[in-house]
Amino acid sequence: MTVRKKIIIGFSVFFSLFLIWYLFIKEADYSISFKVNAATGTVFQGIQEWSNAQALKESEKYVVLEKRNFDFIKQEMKKDNVQMEYTWDITYINDSVTKINVGIKDLNHSLYNKLTAPFFNTKFKQEQIRKITDFKKGLGEHLKNFKVKIEGEGVSEETFVAYINLKSILQEKGQTMIANDAIITGFLFENKIKIKGRPYLEIINWDLDKETIDFNYCFPVDKPTNSVINNVVKFKTLPVVKGLKATYYGNFRTSDRAWFALMDYAKKHNLKLENKVLEHFLSNPFNGGEELQWETKIIIPFAPK
């Protein structure tokens, strides 16, 4: 057998294997990749919020088929007779850059799209580019609304507080605080207990899989001179916490964007963190003003060795 024939046979086998993989094994019909200046968790949350917005705006129903915290999410989308799968791979590049790859599959026309999308500007291809571009623009607008400054290792201060225990999904942390603000502040006012500073949020358990948090909404106060008993409002001392610190500027509802930035930083520097967070709000949102001026000090404790 001549060298030329060997080359032809080798190329034919390679090409045949490639076609089998591309047409019948490769999951995505079409993929789109881009980079953003955001933490992986911020992108992860953004995908879910975008999906909810699509449900309202476009009547598209998204169901999460599989997810892995902050770096992978697979969704099924249905609208009338359309049935799609979106697979989002979220890759941390450095402290300010995340790469996103979106694999898109039309469950009803997958083979046709695989054959045509690489070579023709089909309706399927145009629609997917439009949708992912819309997501990217929306994420970009969101990123303009806050800033995160990572400060490295640090410690918090010991503080005596009155607190109320609350639970919510991560996305409704701010709304839950606001809804219960009058309960704790009203109790302190009625019992003539002076508030000595801005409030804290102590996340005592953050379930990353379920995206739920168990937290204490706390106000620094003087220690009561008399015994004050209440089934909701309690008192304790917030201990000194040693961990990674950041300053967040923006609406308190989305201060978890700083949590995600700290987690990416810890991963890069091989640091282990607990699923707990301490936030100290240094601004009063009820006074209004520019949200980018609202300041929150955040620390996530190191995990025990």
Q: Each residue of 64-106: pLDDT tens digit? A: 999 988 899 999 999 999 999 999 999 999 877 999 999 999 9
- Looking at residue 153, its pLDDT comes to 95
How many Å apart are CA 165 and CA 175, to the nearest integer?
14
Write down how long the chain is.
305
Of the candidates 101, 124, 98, 126, the one whose C-alpha atom is nearest the C-alpha of residue 113 is 124
Average pLDDT estimate for 185-202: 93
Beta pairing partners, 206: 213
In this predicted model, which residue has the larger pLDDT, 296 or 68? 296
pTM score = 0.87
pLDDT over threshold 60, residue 43: yes
Count of Cβ atoms closer than 10 Å to residue 53 Cβ: 14
Q: What is the mean pLDDT of the chain?
A: 88
Beta pairing partners, 85: 76, 105
Residue-wise pLDDT for 107-137, tens only, equals: 898 777 887 877 778 999 999 999 999 999 9
Residue 252 phi/psi, 5-degree rounding, is -60, -20
**Band of the pLDDT at 40, cuts 50, 70, 90?**
very high
- Looking at residue 69, its pLDDT comes to 80
Average pLDDT estimate for 5-10: 56
CA dihedral 194, 284, 213, 179 (to 10 degrees): 80
Radius of gyration, alpha carbons of the chain: 25
Inter-residue contact 54 to 130 (CB < 8 Å): no
Query: Residue 291 corresponds to which tokens in the numbers above?
Result: 């949200």
Q: Which CATH architecture has domain 24-144?
A: 2-Layer Sandwich (3.30)
- Please give the full DSSP string across the chain, using - where no structure is assigned: --HHHHHHHHHHHHHHHHHHIIIII---SEEEEEEESS-HHHHHHHHHHHHHHHHHHH--EEEEEEEETTTEEEEEEEETTEEEEEEEEEEEEETTEEEEEEEEEETTSHHHHHHHTTTS--HHHHHHHHHHHHHHHHHHHHHTT-EEEEEEEEE---EEEEEEEEEEEGGGHHHHHHHHHHHHHHHHHHTTPPB-S--EEEEEEEETTTTEEEEEEEEEBPPPSS----SSEEEEEEPP-EEEEEEEES-GGGTHHHHHHHHHHHHHTT--B-S-EEEEE-S-GGG---GGG-EEEEEEEBPP-
Count of Cβ atoms closer than 10 Å to residue 124 Cβ: 19
Angle (CA) 274 204 217, round 5°: 135
Domain(s) of CATH 3.20.80.10: residues in the chain:
148-301
Residue-wise pLDDT for 204-228, tens only, equals: 999 998 899 999 999 999 887 677 7
pLDDT over threshold 80, residue 152: yes
- Looking at residue 10, its pLDDT comes to 55
Q: How far is CA 37 from the centre of its chain?
A: 14
pLDDT over threshold 70, residue 305: yes
**Is 67 buried (19+), middle (13-18) or exposed (0-12) by CB count in 10 A?**
middle
Beta pairing partners, 105: 85
**Band of the pLDDT at 231, cuts 50, 70, 90?**
confident
How many Å apart are CA 176 and CA 286, to the nearest integer?
15
Inter-residue contact 274 to 302 (CB < 8 Å): yes
CATH 3.20.80.10 holds for 148-301? yes
pLDDT over threshold 80, residue 19: no
Pairing of the two strands 30-36 and 212-220 = unpaired
How many Å apart are CA 215 and CA 166, to the nearest integer?
5
Domain(s) of CATH 3.30.530.20: residues in the chain:
24-144
